[in-house]
A and B are shown apart, each in its own frame.
Chain A
Amino acid sequence: MLQAQETIINRQGYRLHMIQSNKFKTVHFVAKFISPLSRKDVTKRALLPFVMQQATKNYPTANAFRQKLDDLYGSTFSMDGSKKGEMHIITARMSVVNPSYLSTDEPILAEAVQFFNEALFAPKVLANGFDPKIVAREKQSLGQKIESIKDNKMQLANMRLIEEMCEGEVYKTHVHGYPEDFDAITPENLYDYYQQVINKEPLDIYVIGDLSSLNVEALFDQYIERATNEPMPNMQAEEKSVTEPKEIIEYEPIQQGKLHFGFRTHTHYSDDDYPALHVFNAIFGGFPSSKLFINVREKNSLAYYAASRFESHKGLLFVFSGIAPTDFDKAKTIILEQLEAMRDGDFTEEQIAEAKSLITNQYKENLDEAYGIVEMLYNQQFSTNKSTADFVSRINAVTKSAIERVANRIELDTTYFLTQKGAE
Chain B
Amino acid sequence: MEKKQYNQINETVYQETLANGLQVLLVPKPELEQTYGVFTTNYGSIDNQFVPLGEMNMVQVPDGIAHFLEHKLFEKEDHDVFQEFTALGSSANAFTSFTKTAYLFSATTEIKKNTEILLDFVQDPYFSKSSVEKEKGIIAQEIQMYDDQPDWRAFFGIIETMYQDHPVKIDIAGTVDSIQNITKDDLYTCYHTFYHPSNMTFCLVGAFDAEEMLQVIRDNQSQKSFDPVQAIKRERVVEPAHVNKEHAVLHMPVVTEKCMIGIKETPTERPDDFIKAELMSEMILDYFYSKSGAYYQELYDLDLIDGSLGFETERQISFAFSLIGANSTDVEQFKAVVLRQLDTFKTYTFSDEAFTRMKRKMIGGLMREMNSTSNIANSVSQYHFLGIDYFNLLPILEGITKEEVEAFMHQWIKSDNVASFFIKKETKDA
| Interface positions of A (Cβ within 8 A of B) | 22-26, 50, 62-63, 66-67, 69-76, 95-97, 101-103, 137, 140-141, 144-145, 147-148, 150-153, 252-256, 287-289, 297-298, 301-305, 322-324, 354, 356-358, 360-362, 364-365, 367-368, 370
Contact = CB atoms under 8 A, between A and B. Distances in A.
Given A144-B306, A148-B308, A304-B145, A370 B256 contact: no
A66 B297 CA distance: 11
A304 B358 contact: no
11 contacts: A26-B367, A63-B294, A70-B357, A97-B364, A141-B306, A144-B256, A147-B255, A305-B145, A322-B141, A322-B145, A358-B86
Contacts of A75: 364
B289 to A, nearest CB: 12
Contacts of A362: 91
A298 B80 contact: yes
A167 to B, nearest CB: 24
Contact of B306 (A66, A103, A145, A358): A145
A148 B255 contact: yes
Given A145-B306, A304-B139, A25 B32 contact: no
B311 to A, nearest CB: 15
Q: Which 4 A-B pairs have the closest CB atoms?
A: A357-B89, A74-B364, A66-B292, A301-B137
A101 B138 contact: no
B255 A364 contact: no
Nearest to A287: B86
A367 B33 contact: yes
A151 B360 contact: no
Contacts of B80: 298
A302 B9 CA distance: 47
Nearest to A143: B306
B141 A289 contact: no
Contacts of B32: 23, 368
B91 A63 contact: no
B271 interface: no
A25 B137 contact: no
A287 B91 contact: yes
A101 B91 contact: no
Given A256-B145, A297-B138, A74 B362 contact: yes
Contact of A144 (B83, B329, B363, B371): B329
Nearest to A77: B291
Interface in B327-379: 327, 329, 357-358, 360-365, 367-368, 370-371, 373
B360 A71 contact: yes
Most central of A71, A356, A365 by chain B CB within 10 Å: A365
B373 A66 contact: no
Contacts of B357: 67, 70-71
A103 B306 CA distance: 37
Interface in B14-62: 31-34
A252 B144 contact: no
B89 A152 contact: no
Interface in B379-430: 426
B91 A361 contact: yes
B254 interface: yes
Contacts of B108: 360-361, 364-365
Nearest to B329: A144
B134 interface: yes
B177 interface: no
A272 B31 CA distance: 32
Contact of A151 (B83, B137, B256): B256
Given A153-B148, A365-B106, A360 B89 contact: yes
Contact of A303 (B89, B138, B307, B371): B138
A215 to B, nearest CB: 23
Given A97-B368, A364-B34, 17 more contacts: A22-B31, A25-B370, A26-B368, A50-B307, A66-B291, A74-B361, A102-B363, A151-B255, A151-B256, A301-B134, A303-B141, A304-B138, A322-B141, A358-B91, A361-B90, A361-B108, A364-B108
A255 B33 contact: no
A76 B365 CA distance: 9
A392 to B, nearest CB: 11
Contacts of B31: 22-23
A145 B326 CA distance: 12
B9 A101 contact: yes
Interface in B84-98: 86-92
Contacts of B223: none
B8 interface: yes
Interface string B130-165: 000011111101101101111000000000000000
B104 to A, nearest CB: 13
Contact of B367 (A101, A302, A322, A361): A101
Interface in B272-312: 290-292, 294, 297, 300, 303, 306-308
Contacts of B323: none
A278 B84 CA distance: 21
A157 to B, nearest CB: 11
B121 to A, nearest CB: 14
Nearest to B206: A368
Nearest to A365: B34
Given A66-B290, A101-B9, A365-B34, A147 B256 contact: yes
A66 B136 CA distance: 47
Nearest to B301: A137
A26 to B, nearest CB: 6
Given A74-B365, A289-B86, A368 B33 contact: yes
B371 A323 contact: no
Contact of A357 (B9, B34, B88): B88
Nearest to A63: B297
A148 B134 CA distance: 35
Contact of B307 (A63, A72, A145, A322): A145
B313 interface: no
A357 B300 CA distance: 48
A416 to B, nearest CB: 16
B141 A24 contact: no
B128 interface: no
Most central of B148, B253, B361, B362 by chain A CB within 10 Å: B148
B65 interface: no
B107 interface: yes
Most central of A62, A69, A357 by chain B CB within 10 Å: A357
B226 interface: no
A288 B8 CA distance: 40
Contacts of A361: 34, 89-91, 106-109
Contact of B368 (A76, A254, A305): A76
